[in-house]
Amino acid sequence: MSKRFLISGGGTGGHIFPALSIANALRRRMPDCEILYVGAEGRMEMERVPAAGYDIIGLPVAGFDRKRLWRNIPVLFKLWKSLRLARKTVSDFRPDCAIGVGGYASGPTLKAAQKAGVPTLLQEQNSYAGVTNKLLAAKADAICCAYEGMERFFPERAIVMTGNPVRADLLRCQLTPAEAKKALGFDPEKPLLLVVGGSLGARTVNEAIAAALPAIAEAGAQVMWQTGKLYLNEFAPVAATCGGIKASAFIADMATAYRAADLVVSRAGAGTISELQLLGKPAILIPSPNVAEDHQRKNAEALVKEGAAVMILDADAKAQLGPTVTALLSDADRRHKLGENAAKMALADADEKIVDKILEICK
């Protein structure tokens, strides 16, 4: 009889990409297994998961407004509805294991699975645990982590160091950096800066790059700039004012983009950091201040401590990004050392290690 797996979580690419990597690894290992995804209505996973070939159910769950408490009455009603639907989903699907990757939907779903006696595995991407995973941790059978010291948040008996799953295609690129630049329409002889602000884009990163473009162009560098779809119309005209700058809402071929890049500027989401580590890429990290528990800054600090990245705080980005980028682009030795130290922190084959643990707790 084929095994059934329930996977839940999402909201951003940082949750969805690891979830899909785990799903793909399960399917590779057990082609006949059944996988059902539970997401949050109106969030990114409701499009991305079906596009990846998996069935999905959406819960009406929403996040709490911690600043304006009076707005949480409808949120509580949505949570009650979500708990009911999660219980019905667990009862109907009868999973052998439920996997939570963080995000709104994973709370009700994993709670329902735990109450039904289903083995549960949590995947925590960040160095500072999310609220949902902390609430679910006591009854979890395994908690897969990417950073040391997670016993601050979770029972030590359940912690497994696996690293974060990343998109498999990123590791398959066989092009040389010069070939990758040429494939993307850039001059293979000139340095290339890759700018990514996360799956939704980031205003501060975009504004800081816009301010830094004259200095970057004067240094003879090129820029591949992912603005996010919310910001393309605003920043594409800025990019057009300098030669060698290409702005787009989304970069479809990240494998080639990473291979081409001499330096990366990015937010400090856990998924992006895992990619930078596995690919050994030097990076300037600008942590988002708009995330729970300021966890992106803690992610970035974990790399800075090992000499594996440079961090610029969000408030300082406009003033500091230009000088920092130009200094690093002119210092190949420092870039090499940053990339080397990042690679030392990498934990490879995380998806396979997580599947090993899933099958172990299923028994």
pLDDT in tens, 190-225: 999 999 976 566 889 999 999 999 999 989 999 999
Predicted confidence at residue 212, as pLDDT, reads 93
Rg of the chain taking only CA atoms, in angstroms: 21
Determine the 3-state secondary structure of 195 from DSSP.
strand
> What phi and psi values does residue 142 have, to the nearest 5 degrees?
-155, 145
Report the pLDDT averaged over residues 239-266: 92
Residue type, 138: A
Partners of 311 in beta bridges: 285
Residue 108 near residue 75, CB atoms below 8 Å: no
* pLDDT at residue number 65: 60
Strand-by-strand arrangement of the 97-100 sheet: 55-59, 34-40, 4-8, 97-100, 120-124, 142-145, 159-161
Number of neighbours of residue 320 by Cβ within 10 angstroms: 17
Q: Please give the pLDDT value at position 295.
A: 84
267: left (phi over 0), alpha (psi -120 to 50) or beta: beta
Helix (H) or strand (E) holding 142: strand 142-145
Predicted confidence (pLDDT) per residue in 115-160, tens digit: 999 999 999 998 888 889 999 999 999 999 998 899 999 999 999 9
Count Cα neighbours of 107 within 13 Å in the Cβ-side half-sphere: 20
Record the tokens describing residue 337, joined without a space.
């050392």
245 Cβ contact list (under 8 Å, min separation 6): 213, 217, 222, 223, 225, 239
Count Cβ neighbours within 10 Å for each residue of 58-69 and write b for 16 or more, e otherwise: bbbbbeeeeeee
